[in-house]
Amino acid sequence: MEEPPTIAILGAGIAGLALAIGLIKRGVPCTIYEACEKFSAVGAGIGLGPNSLTAIDLIDPSFRAKYDNAKTANERPEFKHSVFDALYAEEGVGEKRGWSRGLVGAPYFERSSAHRKDLLEIMESFIPPGTVKFSKKFVEVKQVGDKVQIQFEDGEVVTVDAVIGADGIRGVTRKTVLGNIAPDLVEPKYLATYIYRGILPMADAKAILGEHGGDAKWFMAKGRGVAIYPISKGAEENFVFFIKDKSDTWPHANGSNIECTKEEMLKDLEGFDHRLLKLLDWAKPLRWPIFYHPTTPIFYNGRICMIGDVAHASSPHQAAGAGQGLEDAVVLAHLLALAKSPKELDAAFQVYDEIRRPRAMKVVSTSAEAGILYNFEDPEIGDDLEKIVDNANGRLHWIWQHDLAADQKKAEEEFLALVHRNGSGNGSAGDGNGATSAPIQTQSTLVAA
């Protein structure tokens, strides 16, 4: 009997940890390699929709229970089922137009968000000591035959049966997978949008915003906007200002932020309600660019597979990016638990790609569309908030109500059928795009930039 596959996960973010939790729950050993010295809390607030909650329940029911104890809901009962309340960002936030409320949500939806730090602490609690290797910067990967070698900056070389890249939007594994297939799609694209962001105590938020503090709101304007929502069990308010850039290129090739002045921030937000501008007192004078992956033709190549942002980084306009990484983990953990030998990994990756890629990439494209809508840039809708709210209320159900358990079942059925066909000698699982279910006979090398 063959030994079970050895699996390395590159990256200890939400997607990587979620996959590890799912594998550990199913008795599949794995090791996570993280370049940072500790878990990162960059990003502050994270919103999770019904599909995301289903995902964490399927990953491990105990995960869902712990999250439920830490999550933050909207404060006022009338906003319980609202992902956000759409208002104008102009002075008076719509009162001059007779606009006072634009709820986006559903009767089955309950607003849920958390501080990234809190979510990672919950996830970390499921990871046995020694599973995560910190300060392990990945510099080279070699696929030789049916093995993958990982070389780290400290000189260590690790050989495994499969590498799962969860290394973020600019992760090296994206180049590993797409470098010979679609090299022009390796680097993320600039959305021509940057943000100002921050967190302030809820008491201050309510003192500034009055009745608008404590619940999720989206204040919209032409080419601009600000989203606010409660985190940290209601103790803090997270805010993000969105600014449409006049340029479609970002000055820094690596996507790093740019320092600015308070005066430049205020100029970007000219015409905003004075209460919203006061939030900038809690924002560092930094412009953070939004990058995304609008096109990804395949999520794997040989024994290297991508999950999370490295595969399908999205804009935040549907609050669905983290949820897609969790969905990746649900499907892939289920498939890897079915793979009883290394030779079955290829079928697992093919089925994962077939099930997850179409949905994840649709989330990416529709999130970009939502950004256009909320920036008052839709040529037919413009700044008509009534039409925007109607559109928003119709565009999220397919994300929230997706049957993830059915995806698991379909994945298992397709995997077992594929393994049976391959075992019967009826052909490989290759799809002609550079990925194959047969052992890789050539050697490919990637050196990290």
Q: Give yes or no for a contact between 214 and 156, defined as CB atoms under 8 angstroms apart.
A: no
Reply yes or no on whether 303 is catalytic. Answer: no
Q: Which of 33, 229, 300, 374 is catalytic?
A: 229
Q: Which of 174, 197, 303, 357 is catalytic?
A: 197
Q: Which of 59, 302, 88 is nearest to 178 (CA)?
A: 302
Q: CA 157 to CA 22: how far, in whole Å?
A: 26
- The encoded tokens of residue 181 equal 């297939």
Reply yes or no on whether 229 is catalytic. Answer: yes
Q: Which of 79, 90, 115 is nearest to 199 (CA)?
A: 115
How far is the CA of 196 from the CAs of 23, 227, 232, 266, in angstroms? 37, 11, 20, 11
Q: CA 309 to CA 315: how far, in whole Å?
A: 10
Q: Give yes or no for a contact between 55 and 49, defined as CB atoms under 8 angstroms apart.
A: no
Token look-up 């794997």 returns 300
Token look-up 């942002």 returns 309
Residues 6+ positions from 98 with CB-CB distance below 8 Å: none
Can you give the C-alpha Rg of the chain in angstroms?
22
Q: Give yes or no for a contact between 325 and 15, defined as CB atoms under 8 angstroms apart.
A: yes
Quote the strand ranges of 89-210, DSSP E. 103-105, 113-115, 132-133, 138-144, 147-152, 157-160, 162-165, 189-201
User: What DSSP state is assigned to residue 439?
Assistant: P
The dihedral built from the CA positions of residue 10, 16, 20 and 23, taken in this order, carries a sign that is negative
Q: CA 159 to CA 172: how far, in whole Å?
A: 17
Q: CA 146 to CA 440: how far, in whole Å?
A: 5
Residues involved in catalysis: 197, 229
